[in-house]
Amino acid sequence: MKIGVPKEIKIQEGRVAMTPEAAKLLIEKGHQVFVEFDAGLDSGFSNEGYQSNGVTLVTAQEAWNVDLVVKVKEPMQSEYQYFDKQMLFTFFHLSGVDSALTEALLNSKVTAIAYETLENEEGRLPILASMSAIAGNMATLIGAYYLAKPHLGKGVQLGTVMGKQYGTVLVVGDGIVGQHAAQAACGLGAKVTVAGIDTAWMQWLKVSMLPEVDFIVSTQETLEKQVAQSDLVVGAVLCRGAKAPKIITEAMVKNMSKGSVIVDVSIDQGGCMETSQPTTHSEPVFVKHGVTHYCVTNMPGAYPVTSTLALVDATLPYIKSLVETGLQNLIRNDKGFSKAILVYQGQLTSEQVANDLGLQSRFKHLHQLI
C-alpha cells in the first residue's frame, strides 16, 4: 500500500503523523511511505532521517496521491483540492466545525477515519487519550501563566507558598483531560475541584488517583457557585464524536472576578463554555467580561516532540492493521475501529455528525455499505 504523510499546515502545528522509525516498520512489510519535505522538522525529525529509513520525500500533492493519507489535524481548506477517493486517517472533529470539510469529504468520495472516535476493546479512546493527556497538563500550566499580572491576569499564583495554598482551580469534566489538569494543578499546590456526573467514578478517582482533589456533582447550582470563586476554570467535557454541551454559561463567566482565566480544552468540539471561540497559537487568548479565554484548537501542537512520539505510539498499531488486514475486513472484525469511520467512500456514516451538521439526508449506516 502507498502511505502518504503531508506536512501539517494548521497555524503553528509542529506535529507529524509518522516518525522515521514507524515508517521503516511499514516499509519492511513491503509498503511504500511518502513523506512531504520538512514535515518532521518541528518534531525533531530531519529529511535525512526519513530517507535513511527508506522513506521517499515528496511534494504536498504527491503525499496526498496515495492509498492512505495519515495526518495529525483536520485538513485545511487549501488541502481539499487533494481529496480523491483515498483513505484519510487523522483527527477530524467534524461536529465542532462548519460543514465545509464534511461536504468536501463527501463530494470527493474520501474515506475519513477519525482518531477521536476510534475505540479499543475496552471501549476507550486510545488515540484521543494520548493527546488529551498532554492537553490536560497544558491547561493548568497555560492557566497559571495567564493568571500573572503582566499577562492580563489577576496576579494570583497557583501554588503553595511557605505551606499556605494559593489559587483555586475548577476542572469541569473527569476524563483524561480533567484528570491530567487536576494532577498538574495539585502538583503546583493549588486548591482543586473537579466537577463530574458519575459519583461512583469520582469516588474511585478520589481514592485511587486524586486524593487531594474535591469532587462535586456537576449541576447548574454547584457550577454557578464554584465558577464564581475560581481563579482558573478548565473545560474538559467530552461527548464522543459530538458537539460539546455548553456547561458553563455566559452568566457564570460574568460572575468570575476580573483577571480570572478560562482554558477550554473542549474547543475542538465547539467548546463547553458559552463564551468560548476558537483561537490559535499565534493569537491564543481573548478577554471577555474581564476573563481571559484560551481556546486553542490544537493545544498539543505546542509541544510537537512529545506529542508526536505519543501520537505515533497510539496510531501505529492501527495503521499496521489497516494496511495488512484491509479496510473492509477491519471494519467487519473490529467494532471499535468501525466507529472511527465518519465517511465511507463519499457516504456519511456518522449519525452524530449528520445530526450536528444538519446532514441527516446524507447519512447511511456503515454496515449497509460494506
CA distances from residue 70 to 66, 252, 319, 338, 369 in whole angstroms, order as listed: 10, 40, 9, 17, 23
CA atoms within 13 A on the CB side of 166: 12
DSSP letter at 147?
Answer: T
Whether 151 is catalytic: no
Which H or E run contains 306?
helix 304-325
DSSP string over 94-111: GGGS-THHHHHHHHTT-E
- Are the C-beta atoms of residues 151 and 196 closer than 8 Å to each other? no
- Of 364, 360, 299, 337, the residue nearest 130 (C-alpha): 299
Catalytic hit among 31, 93, 180, 293: 93
Cβ neighbour number for residue 56 with a 10 Å cutoff: 16
Q: Is 237 left (phi over 0), alpha (psi -120 to 50) or beta?
A: beta
Whether 334 is catalytic: no
Instruction: Tell me the one-letter amino acid at 81.
Output: Q
Catalytic hit among 174, 268, 334, 356: 268
- Of 224, 228, 222, 236, the residue nearest 258 (C-alpha): 228
Q: How far apart are CA 243 and CA 124, in angstroms?
A: 19
DSSP string over 17-58: S--HHHHHHHHHTT-EEEEETTTTGGGT--HHHHHTTTPEEE
Tell how strand 111-114 and strand 341-344 pair up: antiparallel
Cell of 208: 485511587
- Are the C-beta atoms of residues 139 and 234 closer than 8 Å to each other? yes
- Of 223, 324, 235, the residue nearest 273 (C-alpha): 235
Q: How far apart are CA 288 and CA 231, in angstroms?
A: 15
Q: Which residues are part of the catalytic machinery? A: 93, 268
